[in-house]
Structure formats: structure tokens, C-alpha cells
């Protein structure tokens, strides 16, 4: 078999055979296929797509290129959630605690942020002592005993994806639905979960800017999951404006704790309860979404979700007193208000630009090895549809420097105040 013929085939829009896909993945991992041929095939896939069966084959070959976690020793149906990433998306943190409080095992393997989107691991590392790198044995023990763990990838998960993703990043082939879907699902299948709820973001702050593209990605993800016997569904949620009010690592942990205490912002709470209800039903702990939602709400009112979160923090080496004293996390030197320049209704808050503003304050990475400032970020006081009077604070900017004029200008350019606003629904579609 020759890589040249495989590239030629995809260039002409033909379906690759299982053997050809396996030859490609094996060659990428062994290093026998040079980067220029891999890149050429990725571009051909970008333009000509892949059939469902090609996507499943690519996913499984990438999954088999590395370790596969066996979680069968843990009691109960293991349920995970994956989000395609957004601004202010701290959902995993309170969600894992709510679901685990119902005695459902939640083994979460999460990632770091890059660019304008935040990463769950970075947020958790704002808690003094919290360790995201724990051994596979400790991970399993924790999920068995505490029913939840949120960690970084252990061992060698899907090394083929690591190599292919690095090349996609520099060859303008990241935003290809078959490549995104196989990349995400190879890692999720390798992580050993029984069931998966996927939150596909749509809008300005998301990978997929249009509902059509988001729907196509959601369908591809679910099809791959179901094709390998995983209980899997997706929902599409809005990422035109940031989720919740807080953007920034420590600020998002504080907002997650507030939610667990019953004081979360309405949009974040709605998304957490919706995703959580699907997880509870997939785990077989409720017969209907309504019953599941009521049970989850109960874990907030009786305090058990908050205690679950504390248990996880302590089990992973963190300071559990963060729950009562979020101020033990790094605090920014300055809190700077951003007043509205006119009266009206907030019509747009461009999520990607607010994410970039938080990154420029030091809360996100511009390069993969950048150090983060956990304290900085933004807390929104107005969301789309809210009325404002001139001079009202639109947001508080948490900064370690007073000189943030360029960042303020950037934010002003990306918040629109008009006479009216079109309300955007948070949850757009469910894909099963
Ligand atoms: N997340 C992934 O893991 N892979 C992609 O290709 C895109 C987002």
C-alpha cells in the first residue's frame, strides 16, 4: 500500500477502505509517513469529507493507537460530559458534583484552554493544591469511592490524534467535521466511559459558528459514539455571549461554588441541569428528564452537591476550605468597572472577543507554554436583553495592572447597546 495512492483517492473524493485508514494511522504513529503526506491527506479530507463508516474507522484506529482505560471495576454506569469549548464554560465543574451526588460515577478527563476558550483543568488549578495529574489507579479509586474525578489525560491516550491535531493546527485543517469528530471521540472512547453527553457550542465564541455546522458536528459525534456501542447524545447550546457571568479561572471556580450553593446565574444553572438530567437518565437513575432534574435540584438544596465538590477537591490534594472561602484563590490587584456609554438594551456581547480580553489580561494562553494568571478575568453585570442606563457598570474587570485602556476599547467595540435585543435561546437542539 502506498500513501500517495491514499491521498490521490481522497483527492478524487473516493471512500477510503478500512485498510487504507489503518495504514495511514499506523504510519503517522510510527513516523513512517512524512508530515507533508499526512498534511496533504488532511487537506483532501477537509475538502472531500468522510462517510460515517470512514469516520468510525478513523476514530477507532486513533483510539487503538494508545492506551484504553478499563473502568469496569467501578460500580455503576459511568457517565461523562464533553463540551466543544467556549467562553465562561465552567459547566463540567458543578455538573460533575451534582451528578456524582446522586451516586453516579463521573470519570472526567478534561483539557486546557487555548486561545479565547478556557480549559477546565486550568480553572481547577486556581484552587491551591489541586492536582490534575493523578495515576490511573488513583483515578479509578477516586471515582469508585468519591464517585467523581476531574483530571488531565493519563498515560498515552490516542497518540495518533496528538500528531494529527498538531499538523491540523498549522495546515488550516482544524475546522473539518470528520477530523474534529474523530479526534474528540477517539479520546472519549479511550477514556472508558459507558455513556456520554456532548455539549456542542454554536455561535461567535464556538468552533462552529453556524447552527447547520454545529448540527452536522453533533450528528457526527453521536453517530460515532453509538456506532461503537456507547450510550451517547448531544445538545447544541448557544455560545454567542459568554456562559454565566464569570470569565477567568478563579472567578469561574467561585461562580461554580455559588451555583452549588444555590446562587448560580440562570443560564449556567439551566445548562447544568439540562446536561445533568440527560446524564442521570443515561445512568439509569431516573425514568424521565423531569424526574432527573428534580433529583439534581435536590442535591443543591440539601447541600450534597457542594459537599461532593469539596470531597473531590480534597481527594485531589486541594484545599477544601475553598468552598467556604473562595478568597483563598489568587485575587487580582485591581477591580475596574466598565460603565455603559449609553442607555438602552444590551443586544450583543461577542463571546470570542470577551474571551480574548480575558486572555489578554493573563487569564488565557496565547502560546501553549504561557503561564496563567489565575486571578484575572471579567464578571459581567449585564447580559443580552438586560436594560442599562448610561453610567451603569456593564462588567468588572479583574486585573493585575491598571493600564488596560486597549482591553477596555476592545470590549466596548464588542458590546452593542440598542433600542431592543433579540433573545437567543440557550439550548437550541437535542440530537439523539
Ligand atoms: N477538540 C478536540 O479534541 N479535537 C478537535 O479536533 C477539536 C476540539
What is the pLDDT at residue 327? Answer: 97
- State the closest ligand 1 atom to the C-alpha of 183, by its place in the atom list counted from 1: 4
Q: Where are the alpha helices (DSSP H) in 240-288?
A: 249-260, 266-282
pLDDT digits (tens, 9 = 90+) for 115-163: 777 799 999 999 999 999 999 999 999 999 999 999 998 778 999 999 9
Topology alike, domains 3-49 and 79-316: no
Residue 368: is its pLDDT beyond 80? no
381 catalytic per annotation: no
Q: Read off the pLDDT band of 362 (50, 70, 90).
A: very high
Catalytic residue, candidates 162, 187, 215, 293: 187
Residue 293: is its pLDDT beyond 90? yes
68 catalytic per annotation: no
Helix (H) or strand (E) holding 332: none
Assembly ipTM: 0.96
Q: How many CB atoms lie within 10 A of CB 207?
A: 18
Q: Which three cell numbers stand for residue 97?
A: 458534583
Architecture of the domain defined by 330-418? Alpha-Beta Complex (3.90)
Nearest alpha-carbon partner for 89 in 202, 1, 171, 186: 202
Residue 62: is its pLDDT beyond 80? yes
Q: Which protein residue's CA is at the shortest distance from atom 7 of ligand 1?
A: 180
Kindly give, in sequence order, each residue whose CB lies less than 8 Å from that of residue 169, ignoring residues fewer than 6 positions away: none
Helix axis angle, 35-48 to 159-169, nearest 10°: 80
Q: Does the C-beta of 304 come closer than 6 Å to ligand 1?
A: no
SS (H, E, C) 359-422: HHHHHCCCCCCCCCCCCCEEEECCCCCCEECCCCEEEEEEECCCCCHHHHHHHHHCEEEECCCC
**Fold observed for domain 79-316:** Pyrimidine Nucleoside Phosphorylase; Chain A, domain 2 (3.40.1030)
Q: Does the C-beta of 110 come closer than 6 Å to ligand 1?
A: no
What is the pLDDT at residue 302? Answer: 98
Using most ligand atoms within 8 A of CB, pick from 157, 171, 180 the residue to mutate for ligand 1.
180
d(CA 62, CA 113): 22
What ranges do the domains of the chain cover?
3-49, 79-316, 330-418
Q: Which residue has the cell 443560564?
A: 267
293 catalytic per annotation: no
Q: Which residue has the cell 459581567?
A: 380
82 catalytic per annotation: yes
- State the closest ligand 1 atom to the C-alpha of 187, by its place in the atom list counted from 1: 3
Average pLDDT over residues 374-378: 97
User: What b-and-e string marks burial along 97-109, b requiring 16 or more CB atoms within 10 Å of the CB?
Assistant: bbbbbbebbbbbb
What is 3-49's CATH number? 1.20.970.10
Q: Read off the pLDDT band of 369 (50, 70, 90).
A: confident
Catalytic residue, candidates 61, 67, 161, 194: 161
d(CA 1, CA 20): 8
d(CA 104, CA 282): 10
Amino acid at each position: 500500500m502506498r500513501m500517495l495512492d491514499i491521498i490521490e483517492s481522497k483527492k478524487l473524493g473516493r471512500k477510503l477502505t478500512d485498510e487504507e485508514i489503518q495504514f495511514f494511522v499506523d504510519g503517522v504513529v510510527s513516523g513512517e509517513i512524512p508530515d507533508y503526506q499526512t498534511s496533504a491527506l488532511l487537506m483532501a479530507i477537509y475538502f472531500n469529507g468522510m462517510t460515517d463508516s470512514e469516520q468510525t474507522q478513523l476514530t477507532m484506529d486513533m483510539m487503538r493507537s494508545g492506551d484504553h482505560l478499563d473502568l469496569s471495576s467501578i460500580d455503576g454506569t459511568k457517565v461523562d460530559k464533553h463540551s466543544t469549548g467556549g467562553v465562561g464554560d465552567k459547566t463540567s465543574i458543578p455538573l460533575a458534583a451534582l451528578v456524582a451526588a446522586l451516586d453516579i460515577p463521573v470519570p472526567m478527563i478534561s483539557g486546557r484552554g487555548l486561545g479565547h476558550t478556557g480549559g477546565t483543568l486550568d480553572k481547577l488549578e486556581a484552587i491551591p493544591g489541586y492536582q490534575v495529574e493523578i495515576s490511573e489507579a488513583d483515578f479509578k479509586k477516586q471515582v469508585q469511592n468519591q464517585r467523581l474525578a476531574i483530571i488531565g489525560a493519563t498515560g498515552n491516550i490516542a497518540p495518533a490524534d496528538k500528531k494529527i491535531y498538531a499538523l491540523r493546527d498549522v495546515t488550516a485543517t482544524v475546522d473539518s467535521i470528520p477530523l474534529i469528530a474523530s479526534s474528540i471521540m477517539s479520546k472519549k472512547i479511550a477514556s472508558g466511559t459507558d455513556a456520554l453527553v456532548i455539549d456542542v457550542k454554536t455561535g461567535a465564541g464556538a468552533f462552529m459558528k453556524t447552527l447547520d455546522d454545529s448540527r452536522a458536528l453533533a450528528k457526527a459525534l453521536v453517530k460515532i459514539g453509538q456506532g461503537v456501542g456507547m450510550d451517547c447524545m448531544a445538545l447544541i447550546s448557544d455560545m454567542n455571549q459568554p456562559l454565566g457571568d464569570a470569565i477567568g479561572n478563579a472567578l469561574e471556580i467561585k461562580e461554580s461554588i455559588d451555583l452549588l450553593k444555590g446562587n448560580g446565574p440562570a443560564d449556567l444553572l439551566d445548562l447544568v441541569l439540562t446536561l445533568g438530567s440527560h446524564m442521570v437518565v443515561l445512568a439509569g437513575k431516573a425514568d424521565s428528564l423531569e424526574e432527573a432534574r428534580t433529583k439534581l435540584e435536590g442535591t443543591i438544596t440539601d447541600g450534597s452537591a457542594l459537599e461532593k465538590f469539596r470531597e473531590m477537591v480534597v481527594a485531589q490534594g486541594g484545599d477544601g476550605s475553598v468552598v467556604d472561602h473562595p478568597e483563598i484563590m489568587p485575587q487580582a490587584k485591581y477591580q475596574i468597572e466598565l460603565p455603559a456609554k449609553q442607555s438602552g438594551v444590551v443586544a450583543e456581547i461577542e463571546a470570542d472577543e470577551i474571551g480574548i480580553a480575558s486572555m489578554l489580561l493573563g487569564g488565557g494562553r496565547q502560546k501553549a507554554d504561557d503561564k496563567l494568571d489565575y486571578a484575572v478575568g471579567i464578571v459581567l453585570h449585564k447580559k443580552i436583553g438586560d436594560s442599562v442606563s448610561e453610567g451603569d457598570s456593564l462588567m468588572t474587570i479583574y486585573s493585575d495592572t491598571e493600564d488596560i485602556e486597549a482591553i477596555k476599547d476592545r470590549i466596548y467595540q464588542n458590546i452593542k447597546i440598542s433600542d431592543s435585543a433579540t433573545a437567543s435561546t440557550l439550548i437550541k437542539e437535542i440530537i439523539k
